[in-house]
Structure 1
Amino acid sequence: MSTGQVHPDQHPIDDDLVRRLIAGQFPQWTELTVERFPSGGTVNAMYRLGDAMVVRLPLVKGGAKDVSTEQEWLPRLVSRLPTAIPEVLGVGKPAEGYPWPWSVYRWLPGENPEAGALSEPVLLAKDLAGFVAAMRSITLPGAPEAYRGGPVASLDASTRAAIEELRGIPQEGVDCDAATAVWEDALRAPGWDGPPVWLHADLMPGNLLVDSGRLTAVIDFGCMGVGDPACDLFPAWNLLPAEAREVFRETLGVDDATWNRGRGRTLSQALIALPYYRRTNPAMAHNARHVIRAVLGES
């Protein structure tokens, strides 16, 4: 859970604002309780609405487009995926001084998995591979381009800048030379030469829900779209231990080039996140450190 303001330009959101928005646009739900839900997410605030719903509101302007993407595409994906995904129950509009669209979803039960504390890591790896494979099999036309879905080289400048920033934070203990070597290996890997595939594109532990160790739901589809299949390999390093990582790879049948790109992309995200969130979002910073250890421990 964030302990303070994560982004310098985020919009203030509190219980009273959410109550006013609900009363003005969904009066049938006015009597339901509104309570902030603690989340390690960085783009949206979440509020429980009664027992069966959740309100999700962008904290920053960049999240507004994600809301519209979910509202358009989630109803079309639900029947094509093996796990539960968010169901849009209400489409909120700017009001009460709040400037962006927002959504009301059905509440999905479950807990976020925690790297290093998985009760069924191999089974979870198979569940994740099944979800990724189902996403890739979707053939809906008119898909948006996935966030981060382009060539690995498009991340080069920001990744190298993050590595240099981490050189100036020795207390984090990142082996920046080793990180650079892994990153350059990803840059050398052949690019994806097939058609772009459907991706969730943000398979972080905070966007997964599990029960008894098994995957029950995937949430936060704001980055979804089509692109390089390597973009959905993130759980291999941000969640799964080594044995389960190999099961994930084998179940998906990932070739060496795609695996190297996926590892580089996952490392890049972690390297960029760590200096940005290390003082504002403990969950994101903790996972970034885990990814860096997991990736560099393989090399």
Structure 2
Amino acid sequence: MAVEFGFEQELVRALLIEQHPDLADLELRDVAGGWDNQQWRLGTELAVRMPRTERAPALLRTEQKWLPALAERLPLPTPTPVRVGEPSALFEHTWTITRWVEGEPADRAPITRADAADTLAGFLTALHRRAPADAPTSPTRGIPLAGLRDGFSSALHVVADDASADAARETWEKAVAAPAWHGPPTWLHGDLHPANVVTRGGALAGVIDFGDMCAGDPATDLSAAWILLPAGTARRFFETCTDVDEATIARARGWAVLRALHLISIGRNGRLGLPGGKPTWEPAGRAALARALAVD
């Protein structure tokens, strides 16, 4: 599927009639945003997600297989799959009906409450349990940072002319030099950034888009201390987390720098086929980078 591919409501309605007729009469409303998947709100409690990139069907299959069981122990709302759409003559890929998570994406309505540090720590403590041997893995998440040196060098170009470039490089090198994760691979969300969490009244209210969930080093997710939380709350977050040592915090800060640079790049360049690109992502990335480079 091409990146710019999109769907009309008529197709979604036809798929509901074909495979889930008991839900087909519910109100269907367009939802702005989305990256790999296009989304509609279905009634008041559900959403329909349909893949629109080449990698998206596999991401949906990951969510369909693993998220329902994991969600039972998570203390925040998640878009848990409740029905699966199978390939048919109408649409050749899988699609999903999920729980609707109420709130505004944090790239448009940032987290502002300091107690979100406790909320996020509780969520990740519940998520970061030992993953089974057949859990998915990722070539770009949950792995030693040394394997991402080329990606970091490329990403750093977006701030090459900024005063922050040297500090970003120094923080990254410290993270790469930190002792590696020697514990068992834990479950990871894998893609915690402002567009993948929702807020209400400045509080963290839900976590969405689990398509990149995988097993590996929890430092990948712990980077959210700087990517998501208000300035000055990272220390509170790590004090609330359990079993997090200084090496893990150093690696997490390196992940935060890398992810912030990616947000800046995506926000600056937009994305072909998605009107307006991601204009909220550059300021979110720059704010995250400033937090990651600040002295605690």
Amino acid at match of 1:290: A
Q: Do structure 1's residue 17 and structure 2's residue 11 form an aligned pair?
A: yes
Deviations 1:65-100 (A, max 9, x none): 110011011121122222222232221123466442
TM-score w.r.t. length of structure 1: 0.85
Deviations 1:115-159 (A, max 9, x none): 9954532x2111110111111235555322256111111221111
Residues 85 and 250 (structure 1), Cα distance of their counterparts in 2 relative to 1, 3 Å cut: same
Indicate which of 274, 284, 287 corresponds to 1:290. Answer: 287
Aligned to 2:125: 133
Indicate which of 55, 76, 92 corresponds to 2:69. Answer: 76
Deviations 1:194-244 (A, max 9, x none): 111111122223322344444443221111121001011132111223432
Q: Which sits farther off after the overlay, 212-221 or 253-262?
A: 212-221
Residues 186 and 119 (structure 1), Cα distance of their counterparts in 2 relative to 1, 3 Å cut: closer
Deviations 1:165-191 (A, max 9, x none): 543xx5xx4632332222212111111
CA deviation after TM superposition for structure 1 residue 102, in Å: 1.2
Query: Any idea what SS the aligned residue of 1:194 has?
Result: coil
Residues 26 and 245 (structure 1), Cα distance of their counterparts in 2 relative to 1, 3 Å cut: same
CA deviation after TM superposition for structure 1 residue 270, in Å: 2.1
Aligned to 1:180: 169
Residues 49 and 187 (structure 1), Cα distance of their counterparts in 2 relative to 1, 3 Å cut: same
Match runs of 1:104-183 below 5 Å? 104-113=97-106, 118-121=111-114, 123-138=115-130, 140-146=132-138, 148-164=141-157, 166-167=159-160, 173=162, 175-183=164-172
- Note if contact 1:61-1:100 (Cα within 8 Å) is conserved in structure 2: no
- Note if contact 1:159-1:272 (Cα within 8 Å) is conserved in structure 2: no
Amino acid at match of 1:227: G
- Note if contact 1:155-1:268 (Cα within 8 Å) is conserved in structure 2: no
Q: Do structure 1's residue 259 and structure 2's residue 249 form an aligned pair?
A: yes
- Note if contact 1:116-1:239 (Cα within 8 Å) is conserved in structure 2: no
- Note if contact 1:21-1:96 (Cα within 8 Å) is conserved in structure 2: no
In structure 1, distance between residues paired with 2:199 and 2:100: 14
In structure 2, distance between residues paired with 1:165 and 1:286: 13
Query: Identity of counterpart residues, as a percentage?
Result: 36
Amino acid at match of 1:282: P
- The gaps in structure 2 that reach 5 residues or longer are 271-276
CA deviation after TM superposition for structure 1 residue 8, in Å: 6.5
Q: Do structure 1's residue 273 and structure 2's residue 263 form an aligned pair?
A: yes
Amino acid at match of 1:128: L
Q: Which has the higher helix share?
A: 1
- The gaps in structure 1 that reach 5 residues or longer are 1-6
Q: Which sits farther off after the overlay, 67-76 or 88-97?
A: 88-97
- Note if contact 2:261-2:285 (Cα within 8 Å) is conserved in structure 1: yes
In structure 2, distance between residues paired with 1:66 and 1:257: 30
Q: Which sits farther off after the overlay, 136-145 or 150-159?
A: 136-145
Amino acid at match of 1:36: D
Deviations 1:26-84 (A, max 9, x none): 22223222221113x42221111122211112221112211001101112112222222
In structure 2, distance between residues paired with 1:85 and 1:140: 21
Amino acid at match of 1:153: A
Amino acid at match of 1:79: E
Residues 139 and 295 (structure 1), Cα distance of their counterparts in 2 relative to 1, 3 Å cut: closer
Aligned to 1:35: 29
RMSD of Structure 2 on Structure 1 (CA): 2.6
Q: Do structure 1's residue 198 and structure 2's residue 202 form an aligned pair?
A: no
In structure 1, distance between residues paired with 2:211 and 2:45: 22
Work out which structure has the larger RCO, using CA pairs closer than 8 Å and 6 or more positions apart in sequence.
1
In structure 1, distance between residues paired with 2:110 and 2:99: 27
CA deviation after TM superposition for structure 1 residue 283, in Å: 2.4
Residues 115 and 248 (structure 1), Cα distance of their counterparts in 2 relative to 1, 3 Å cut: farther
In structure 2, distance between residues paired with 1:25 and 1:266: 41
In structure 1, distance between residues paired with 2:150 and 2:12: 39
Q: Which ranges of 4 or more aligned residues in structure 1 deviate by more than 6 Å?
A: none
Query: Any idea what SS the aligned residue of 2:284 has?
Result: helix
